[in-house]
Amino acid sequence: MARAKIALIGAGNIGGTLAHLAAVKELGDVVMFDIADGLPQGKALDIAESGPSAGFDAAMSGTSDYADIAGADVCIVTAGVARKPGMSRDDLLGINLKVMKSVGEGIAKHAPDAFVICITNPLDAMVWALREFSGLPHEKVCGMAGVLDSARFRHFLAEEFQVSMRDVTAFVLGGHGDTMVPLVRYSTVAGIPLPDMVKMGWTTQEKLDAIVQRTRDGGAEIVGLLKTGSAFYAPATSAIEMAEAYLKDQKRVLPCAAYVDGAYGLNGFYVGVPTVIGAGGVEKVIEISMSKEEQAMFDSSVSAVKGLVEACKGIDNSLT
């Protein structure tokens, strides 16, 4: 069987890391697209030259021509600008909306059958806009945020409990921003819900609250340390997990920014929810029951995303 083709739209920090991970994991041949002269070609060649030592078979190429993404099975979108210290994800909206228009048109023309994973921020609004501009089926366009937010939450919890992160599960709902909703009740250590871990004396409610807040601020913490850009290793690894679920029809249960139509009282809206990802793309949105307090947090996250979608409509009136 021919290898899968993975198109990476944006060959910056996340794009380069995605290419490297896709190659090392032999997920398929990689085409990197970017408007920066020489950047995708240079990174592709550098990664290809690591192949003999790393021992992978995957063709790597770089391009500034959308025609070269033709027939891609997966497109992962990181094109746009990243945050600098002092900026929120929402500050990127105006610039990145324009980028989503050109990317959406490029994918629609050359790779309309691809599973598209958007990473560009502000994530929930950008994935919505990318879907609108591309016209692809909703189940084939989603956004990477929940896997990353859960991974951050799991990392902090594993450190706190001094256990393997493999045995920590975490559940995060809502938009990828300050209003994201880490759901403590559905997060566990080997099946033991976090509130029980507090009762068992493994941690305190205060420490748990601090971890939840650190998870919400996880992106900003990295921006503050790096100073010149935002996180890229963990975001790329998270998107590769989603791409692999699609390419291998794994039916993984992963949180992502998905089109929710009917569940959670939403009518046709992109926001972070648990989903099943397999060969059909986002095959299912899983609706969980929430307490009043959790529902209120989710609702406020949804209205923050709605505000950003309205702002997009105000900037580009082709988005109705």
In the complex, which residues of this chain contact ligand APR (CB under 6 A)?
9-15, 34-36, 39, 78-83, 92, 96, 99, 102-103, 119-121, 229-230, 232, 235
Question: Does 10 belong to an annotated binding site?
Answer: yes
Nearest in space to 268 (alpha carbons), one of 215, 306, 216: 306
Question: Does 3 belong to an annotated binding site?
Answer: no
Q: How far apart are CA 188 and CA 200, in angstroms?
A: 13
How many CB atoms within 10 Å of residue 146? 30
* Minimum distance, C-beta of residue 17 to ligand APR, in the bound complex (Å): 8
* Residue 230 or 275 having the CB closest to ligand APR: 230
Question: Does 267 belong to an annotated binding site?
Answer: no
* Residue 175 or 235 having the CB closest to ligand APR: 235
Alpha carbon dihedral 233, 234, 240, 243, in 10-degree steps, equals -140
* Minimum distance, C-beta of residue 79 to ligand APR, in the bound complex (Å): 3
* Minimum distance, C-beta of residue 57 to ligand APR, in the bound complex (Å): 26
Q: How far apart are CA 196 and CA 105, in angstroms?
A: 49
* Residue 79 or 189 having the CB closest to ligand APR: 79
* Minimum distance, C-beta of residue 154 to ligand APR, in the bound complex (Å): 19
Question: Does 315 belong to an annotated binding site?
Answer: no
Nearest in space to 78 (alpha carbons), one of 281, 240, 273: 240
When CB distances to ligand APR are compared, the closest residue is 12
* Residue 102 or 295 having the CB closest to ligand APR: 102
* Minimum distance, C-beta of residue 101 to ligand APR, in the bound complex (Å): 9
What token pair was written down for 270? 């992109």
Active-site choice (20, 110, 155, 176): 176
Strands in the chain per DSSP E:
5-9, 29-33, 60-63, 74-77, 115-118, 141-143, 168-169, 172-173, 181-182, 188-189, 192-193, 252-261, 267-278, 281-285
Q: How far apart are CA 297 and CA 254, in angstroms?
A: 20
Question: Does 91 belong to an annotated binding site?
Answer: no
Q: How far apart are CA 6 and CA 33, in angstroms?
A: 11
Q: Check if 155 is active-site.
A: no
Catalytic residues: 176
Binding residues for substrate: 83, 89, 121, 152
Binding residues: 10-15, 34, 83, 89, 96, 119-121, 152
Binding residues for NAD(+): 10-15, 34, 96, 119-121
